[in-house]
């Protein structure tokens, strides 16, 4: 039975299930998680999709950046479902015989990058992007990419196995599954060229900065989807104006962000707890860095300010650790604990050493305390908010022409 991702939590306290805490088995650090057929439960999406920010890597598919449909909508009638015959459907859709040199040529095209872009910064045992060096605090190494994999799985679980919540029209073709819809051209954008060399022929990657001037035609996309850009944008009003310019009239902008403020409904996260200290430190670090970590609380108003209509905000409580009574959220809490443990060093190291002036040793001591705090879920019933905000570009009028 499908789970409403918001029930039973809006307006209610998360309730711990103490006996269940000791029955959970956490995956060891570094365990790879694969998820198949994640797109089957998605509603029909648009002819055009932009994913800005986070790399999505599941079951061999990278989906990130802008997707532009080149052909007419494809009818699914009479075609086998992915569950019935996933391998045959993929083989039937792609014909490699037309270009036996596809793999070599495409790999060459997508990896022909200036050496300056791949001259990564190595600092305190982590690897960081070279393009626009210092513009973003997160590492681009394998450890952090694993955290992104976990985050994607966790967020789609939270949203009821959906990538986004914007109510995309039913008559628009889905283009997120690149192996099922080869007519869609997918453009991946990131500061780091960390994508695989073998990708489908309708997918290419570009090294780009989301804060640069808008590089795509105006009124171009039916959907722009953004996830996890907290602490990454210095001028959010300008960013949202670019999103408005890039959308077609009637198109949707959809954003998912998580809060960095740990909370509890039973006051177990006290002011002097390490989780509360983490929250205060990184809110301060974001303001000093000039890129706020509070965008989940600001996005709705920014979208309204630039003229989006039908703006809707939905807030979800995401537990830290498997302490809740609800089975669905207990699983989410397990994933979130793994997500936090995998991510905290990468989230902290550059900001605390470059911005806050901490030493490497001070950061490691702080992280050790954080790990103890995260694992104390039998006593500390922490969660943080994940916020989905979406809005529509007006079909006509002043706001549509901005």
Higher pLDDT residue, 287 or 206? Answer: 287
CATH 3.40.50 fits 45-72+101-401, yes or no: yes
d(Cα 196, Cα 57) in Å, to the nearest integer?
Answer: 10
* pLDDT score recorded for residue 395: 92
* pLDDT score recorded for residue 269: 98
Give the predicted TM-score (pTM) of the model: 0.67
Confidence bin at 222 (pLDDT 50/70/90): confident
Confidence bin at 136 (pLDDT 50/70/90): confident
* pLDDT score recorded for residue 121: 77
Task: Yes or no: say if 186 and 10 are a contact pair by the CB < 8 Å rule.
Answer: no
* pLDDT score recorded for residue 80: 31
What is the rounded average pLDDT of the residues 270-281?
A: 98
User: Coil, helix or strand for 103?
Assistant: helix
Given a cut of 60, is residue 321 above it in pLDDT? Answer: yes
* pLDDT score recorded for residue 37: 33
Confidence bin at 45 (pLDDT 50/70/90): very low
What is the rounded average pLDDT of the residues 155-176?
A: 75
Higher pLDDT residue, 35 or 248? Answer: 248
- DSSP state for residue 209 in the 8-state scheme: -
Task: Give the residue from 289, 166, 310, 163 showing the smallest Cα distance to 228.
Answer: 163
Higher pLDDT residue, 182 or 301? Answer: 301
* pLDDT score recorded for residue 27: 33
- DSSP state for residue 330 in the 8-state scheme: H
The chain-wide mean pLDDT, for the chain, equals: 71
**Pairing relation of β-strands 126-128 and 221-227?**
unpaired
SS (H, E, C) 249-291: EEEEEEEEEECCCCECCCCCCCCCCHHHHHHHHHHHHHHHHCC
pLDDT in tens, 71-118: 333 333 333 333 333 223 323 333 334 444 444 544 444 344 456 556
Q: How far from 73 is each of 88, 106, 162, 180, 288, CA to CA, in Å?
A: 21, 26, 21, 13, 47
């Amino acid at each position: 039975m499908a789970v409403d991702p918001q029930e039973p939590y809006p307006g209610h306290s998360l309730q711990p299930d103490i006996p269940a805490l000791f029955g959970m088995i956490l995956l060891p650090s570094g365990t790879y998680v694969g998820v198949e057929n994640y797109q089957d439960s998605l509603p029909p999406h648009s002819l055009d999709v932009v994913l800005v920010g986070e790399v999505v890597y599941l079951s061999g598919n990278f989906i990130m950046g802008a997707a532009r449909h080149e052909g007419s909508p494809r009818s699914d009638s009479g075609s086998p479902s992915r569950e019935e015959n996933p391998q045959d459907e993929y083989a039937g859709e792609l014909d490699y015989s037309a270009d036996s040199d596809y793999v070599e040529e495409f790999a060459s095209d997508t990896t022909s990058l200036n050496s300056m872009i791949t001259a990564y910064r190595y600092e305190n045992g982590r690897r960081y992007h070279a393009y626009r060096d210092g513009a973003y605090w997160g590492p681009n190494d394998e450890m952090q990419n694993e955290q992104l994999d976990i985050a994607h799985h966790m967020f789609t679980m939270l949203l009821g196995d959906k990538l986004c919540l914007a109510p995309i029209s039913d008559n628009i073709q889905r283009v997120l599954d690149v192996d099922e819809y080869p007519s869609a051209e997918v453009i991946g954008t990131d500061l780091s060229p960390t994508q695989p060399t073998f990708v489908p022929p309708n997918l290419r990657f570009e090294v780009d900065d989301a804060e640069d001037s808008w590089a795509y035609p105006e009124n171009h996309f039916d959907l722009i989807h953004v996830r996890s850009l907290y602490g990454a944008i210095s001028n959010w009003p300008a960013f949202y104006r670019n999103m408005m310019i890039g959308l077609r009239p009637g198109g949707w902008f959809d954003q998912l962000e998580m809060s960095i403020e740990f909370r509890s409904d039973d006051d177990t996260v006290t002011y002097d707890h390490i989780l509360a200290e983490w929250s205060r430190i990184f809110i301060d670090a974001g303001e000093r860095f000039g890129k706020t970590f509070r965008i989940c609380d600001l996005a709705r108003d920014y979208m309204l300010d630039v003229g989006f209509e039908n703006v809707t905000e939905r807030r979800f409580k995401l537990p830290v650790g498997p302490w809740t009574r609800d089975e669905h959220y207990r699983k989410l809490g397990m994933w979130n604990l793994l997500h936090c443990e995998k991510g905290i060093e990468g989230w902290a190291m550059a900001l605390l050493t470059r911005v806050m002036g901490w030493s490497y040793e001070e950061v490691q001591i702080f992280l050790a305390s954080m790990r103890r705090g995260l694992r104390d879920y039998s006593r500390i019933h922490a969660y943080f908010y994940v916020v989905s905000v979406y809005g529509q570009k007006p079909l006509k009028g002043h706001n549509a022409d901005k």
